[in-house]
Amino acid sequence: MEIKKPAMAGTLESSDAQVTVEPGNGKIELSLESSVMNQYGRQIKDTVLETLDRLGVTSARVTMVDKGALDCTIKARVECAVFRSCDASESNIPWGGAIK
Amino acid sequence: MIPRPRPERFRLRRTMMFMNAQKPGLIKDAYIYGCDSIMLDLEDAVAENQKDAARFSLYHALKTIDYGDTEVIVRINGLDTPHWQEDIRVCVAGGADGIRIAKCESAKDVLTVEAAVEKAEEEFGVEKGRTLLMAALESPKGILNAYEICAASSRMFGVAISGGDFRKCMQTTPQRDGIDMVTARGLMLIAARAAGVQCFDTVFTNLDDNEGFEAEVRQNKAMGFDGKSLINPKQIRLVHQLFAPTEKEVIQAEKIVRAVRENAAKGLGVFTVDGKMIDIAFLPGAERTLRLARACGMYEGDLV
Amino acid sequence: MINKVGRDIPDYLLKDGKEVYQGKNYMDGKYIQKASPKTRRYETPQESKVAESIVKALKDCGAKSGMTFSFHHHLRDGDFVVNMVMKAAIEELGLDNLTIAATSLGSAHDPIAEYIEQGKVVGIQTSGIRGKMGEVVSAGKLKTPAIIRSHGGRPRAIEGGEVHIDIAFIAAPTSDCVGNCRGIGGKSNCGSMGYAMTDAKYADHVVVITDCLVDFPNMPASVEAIDVDAVVVVDSIGNPKKIASAAARISQNPRDLMMAEDVARVIASTPYFKEGFSFQTGVGGPSLAANLFLEKYMDERNIKMGWAIGGICGPMVELLKKGKVGKVIDVQDFDLDAVNSINQTPNHFEMSASQYANPANKGAFVNKLDFVVLAALEIDTGFNVNVLTGSDGVLRGAPGGHPDTAAGSKCCIIVTPLIRGRMATVCEHVVTVTTPGDCVDVLVTDYGIAVNPLRKDLIECLDNAGIKHVTIEELKNKAYSLVGRPDDLEWEDKVVAVLEARDGTILDVVKKIKPYKI
């Protein structure tokens, strides 16, 4: 998917993560802030990158502020932000396909 | 991914606890409180501009979290909104046990949802008929059409009344003795029993009013409800306590089940237990009591 | 050298008779030589000891660089006194090389972080360390490793001469002109002054700092004039709003309530739950809520609690007033209900930190405890508890009375949610061991209960009562299945804090954390 415009999903509540995606310049630039950075920073980064990869996003600036979200929440927030940026978040989501 | 067993149409549903599907902190482990069913809410609890985010969140929760024996139902948005079709797709794809149809007013509403569910089951390769349905009756019309709603589909396991909207339609407010909804509750119960489905009462929203809550749950049980919708985990214990059978009822039920089975083997249809005339018609009730007793930790035998 | 809880203690720390932790009650029966302070005689009758300023009092007490100043933490996050004294000593008198020996330190003391960075404060000895101070110490900015002790370990170290206090500064809600102090009757009330008592007896000099001078004699005094050199009157010793909350409320969080109920069930299943039992609980959500459910079991079985100790707050005072507890003995007060009750409600008494928890004296209250209910930041599969360092390895907590009550009580129950956000509370290895696993008996979480296998008797109690329990490994596995296995923290060699067990042996060290890169 192509990131067409800036979009955001998620909140700054505990156990949640706020993800912002913006159009990139040919690569993925990830900026990550997390309340559990020392113990989970690498795993969080992997989850974000895998999710973007599954969605076929190859160019984006991604900012994530994590408040201790579980992986399932991180995925959901990244996916929602990407679909929102393409105005495609409301219907015909590929559940079980690109979303898994 | 956590594979969930095929949902049971008729199972114990004393407590159905509402949870905002959009709150990761809440849905990650709502089962620990021991309610029979969790009701993940895509409707009222989720703001209009977060319906999409809630679905992503719901999908991964359904796929990732091990809810164990707790039933997982999703309340979808009303048929008068642009959201319900995608809601159904995500429920079916994620493997929810059942769907609660909001603001249901007719058998046609049930059939509309059923058709969409069937289409989604096909799309996502889910066993046809797996996804159960229940209907929330929120209007006078819904109550008056309760029987046709209950009987509309073999997927239907029950109906619930939704007090907030219903009372507004009826120009009333919650009353201490329940007089405001007694007719509606009664009509719905009769319809549910006639159609052979379960029946659930509405939520009690004043968390500080323990007395009022207890009175309402007692009335629910006396009227014959199967269970109640809840808004807070701390309401679970009381409902389970009050819905539990007495020790005497458990002993009686055990005797009846044994006697029916033994006498059936001998070819006897009518007999006495403790001087009371008993026949096969007593069996379902006695078995229900034992199942309830088991769920309450009061029965460890092997009759059910 | 590897100690009894499996922690590697650098050999260079094991000098002057310092040993590594060897297990519970290792020092039993050994003798200590008590220290005695060198104090000044005041033979000529004095009308008043009031000094015009902190600087004047410091000068009168011979303050100089390299000294150790002590403070108590009864004013908690509302405290102004530590900052006030250190500012006078460093900025007005130009002292440096100072050590702060406090019963606890919190975010109220953020300004001290600056003095640590400047090298003016070179030593910290405390139970708690949080906020900016925790950060700068964790970053290795303090010249010597901070020494962390429990509330009982501190009076032990003072009485045994391991800590020599040159000047004790005692923040007092009320004092008379010669230094009889009380924790009530003023505008910044804190109730009990239990943590100040040992300092007053063992410091060479004692300076009382108050914002409410009252008529002589201020009785019954928590700190007595016979130990006081000077009294300084200031505008305000603290922010009352942050000293004691209006009332500690029992949590309404369903998760807390569920765990609290399980705690009460566990307590009621043991043989110690009988007429006259003794009890201490923390003020955290589920710990405090345990009071509520315990009362139900007490009523059901028609028994009363003999006595309760600890930090006290409203719900316990309420039980005392209802006659459900015989006596409350109080080392500190957490809310105004408790502050207003101490020495007022019959059978609500004050005690010193030594009397409360010192393992080296001849009869601390903790040793008579039946039950203690405590929280944890982390607990590992060896039942070792961490209440000091965060998941990032930074100092942000306090052992407090945790290790003392755990070791002294017959049944120590830890109550904590299995995970907090993405942090696994039940884990393979805690970041820092603050309470050794051989002192912890039962763990209650929202996902189940585990009993320390050392306590076969308690396992039987739970089984008999039909209370389900699992192994702590199962709880750890459940936690990791939810949040993923955490990466190990990466440390540098530099030790930034030494954690003493309550008996004075070294339980663990905290090292400087390596910057994390993803």
Contact indicator for C102, C165 with CB cutoff of 8 Å: no
Decide if C254 and B32 are in contact by the 8 Å CB cutoff.
no
Helices (DSSP H) in B154-282: which residue ranges? Answer: 163-169, 182-195, 210-223, 236-243, 247-266
Whole-number Cα distances in Å, B189 to A90, B164, B238, C356: 37, 18, 22, 62
Contact indicator for A16, A100 with CB cutoff of 8 Å: no
Highest CATH level, class, for C50-243: alpha beta
Element (H, E) at C156: helix C153-159
Q: How many helices (H) and strands (E) does chain C have?
A: 15, 25
Interface test with B, best of A78, A95, A99, A100 (most B CBs within 10 A): A95
Instruction: Please give the share of chain B, as a percent, with pLDDT higher than 70.
Output: 99
Helix C254-269 crosses helix C285-301 at what angle (to 10 degrees)?
Answer: 50
pLDDT in tens, B15-40: 999 999 888 888 888 899 999 999 99
The whole-angstrom separation of Cα C189 and Cα C174 is 8
Chain C residues whose CB is inside 8 A of the B32 CB are 255, 258, 446-447
| Whether complex ipTM tops 0.95 | yes
Show which of residues 8-47 on chain A sit within 8 Å of chain C, judged by CB atoms. Answer: 14-15, 32, 35-45
Helices (DSSP H) in C195-284: which residue ranges? Answer: 197-202, 240-243, 254-269
Contact indicator for C159, C35 with CB cutoff of 8 Å: yes
- From the CA of C42, how many Å to the nearest CA of chain A? 56
Decide if A73 and B24 are in contact by the 8 Å CB cutoff.
yes
- Please say if the pLDDT value at position B1 is more than 70: no
**Per-chain mean pLDDT for chain C:** 95
Contact indicator for C495, C509 with CB cutoff of 8 Å: yes
Q: What's the distance, Cα to Cα, between the start and end of chain A in Å?
A: 16
- Please say if the pLDDT value at position C515 is more than 90: no
Query: Would you give the distance in Å from CA C102 to the centre of its chain?
Result: 11
Which of B52, B60, B83 comes nearest A72 by C-beta? Answer: B60
Q: Which chains touch A (3 or more CB pairs under 8 A)?
A: B, C
Decide if B234 and C254 are in contact by the 8 Å CB cutoff.
yes
pLDDT of residue B261: 87
Strand order, beta sheet including C68-71: C50-51, C230-233, C205-210, C167-172, C68-71, C98-102, C121-126, C146-148, C491-500, C506-513
For domain A7-85, the question of CATH label 3.90.1150.10 is answered with no
Contact indicator for C248, C406 with CB cutoff of 8 Å: no
Which of C393, C484, C513 comes nearest A40 by C-beta? Answer: C484
Least confident of B280-289, C107-116, C374-383, C454-463: B280-289
Q: Which chains touch B (3 or more CB pairs under 8 A)?
A: A, C
Residue C455's CB is within 10 A of a number of other CB atoms, namely: 19
- Please say if the pLDDT value at position C107 is more than 70: yes
Note whether C254 contacts B: Cβ–Cβ < 8 A.
Answer: yes
The whole-angstrom separation of Cα C38 and Cα C264 is 49
**At B165, which amino acid appears?**
D
Decide if A79 and B28 are in contact by the 8 Å CB cutoff.
no
So where are chain A's domains? 7-85
For domain B15-243, the CATH architecture is Alpha-Beta Barrel (3.20)
Chain C residues whose CB is inside 8 A of the B232 CB are 254
User: What tokens does C48 get?
Assistant: 């008043």
Instruction: Please give the share of chain C, as a percent, with pLDDT higher than 70.
Output: 100
pLDDT of residue A47: 97
pLDDT of residue C28: 95
pLDDT of residue B134: 98
Average pLDDT over residues A14-41: 95
Q: Does C254-490 match C50-243 at the fold level? A: yes
Whole-number Cα distances in Å, C348 to B96, C280, C309, C508: 56, 14, 10, 36
- Cα–Cα nearest to B228, from B215, B218, B237, B239: B239
- Please say if the pLDDT value at position B2 is more than 90: no
- Identify the three-state secondary structure at position C170: strand
- From the CA of C392, how many Å to the nearest CA of chain A? 5
Which of A38, A68, A69 comes nearest C516 by C-beta? Answer: A38
DSSP C34: -
CATH of the structural domain C254-490, one choice from 3.40.50.2020, 1.10.275.10, 3.40.1080.10, 1.10.3720.10 = 3.40.1080.10
Decide if B234 and C482 are in contact by the 8 Å CB cutoff.
no
Confidence of residue B164 (pLDDT cuts 50, 70, 90): very high
Half-sphere exposure for B290 (CA within 13 Å, toward CB) = 19
Interface test with B, best of C252, C258, C416, C481 (most B CBs within 10 A): C258
pLDDT in tens, C285-327: 888 899 889 999 999 999 999 999 999 999 999 999 999 999 9
DSSP C503: T
Confidence of residue B268 (pLDDT cuts 50, 70, 90): confident
Contact indicator for C144, C394 with CB cutoff of 8 Å: no
Note whether C246 contacts B: Cβ–Cβ < 8 A.
Answer: no
The whole-angstrom separation of Cα B233 and Cα C265 is 19
The whole-angstrom separation of Cα B227 and Cα C260 is 26
Query: What chain C residue is nearest to A16 in terms of C-alpha separation?
Result: C421
Contact indicator for C348, C339 with CB cutoff of 8 Å: no
Chain C residues whose CB is inside 8 A of the A40 CB are 422, 483-484, 486-487
Decide if A15 and B53 are in contact by the 8 Å CB cutoff.
no
- Please say if the pLDDT value at position C89 is more than 80: yes
- Please say if the pLDDT value at position C382 is more than 70: yes
- From the CA of B234, how many Å to the nearest CA of chain C? 6
Chain C residues whose CB is inside 8 A of the A36 CB are 391-392, 421-423, 486
Decide if A75 and B85 are in contact by the 8 Å CB cutoff.
no
- Cα–Cα nearest to C20, from C7, C37, C35, C39: C7
Which of C392, C421, C486 comes nearest A14 by C-beta? Answer: C421
Average pLDDT over residues C260-269: 96
**At C478, which amino acid appears?**
K
So where are chain B's domains? 15-243, 247-295
Confidence of residue B302 (pLDDT cuts 50, 70, 90): confident
Interface test with B, best of A50, A73, A74, A92 (most B CBs within 10 A): A73
Interface contacts B/C by beta carbons within 8 Å: 17
Interface contacts A/B by beta carbons within 8 Å: 72
The whole-angstrom separation of Cα C433 and Cα C441 is 16
The whole-angstrom separation of Cα B204 and Cα B217 is 9
The whole-angstrom separation of Cα B146 and Cα B140 is 10
pLDDT in tens, C142-153: 999 999 999 999
Average pLDDT over residues B222-249: 93
Residues of A with CB under 8 A from a CB of B: 9-10, 13-16, 69-73, 75-77, 79-80, 83-84, 89-93, 95-96, 99-100
Contact indicator for C154, C353 with CB cutoff of 8 Å: yes
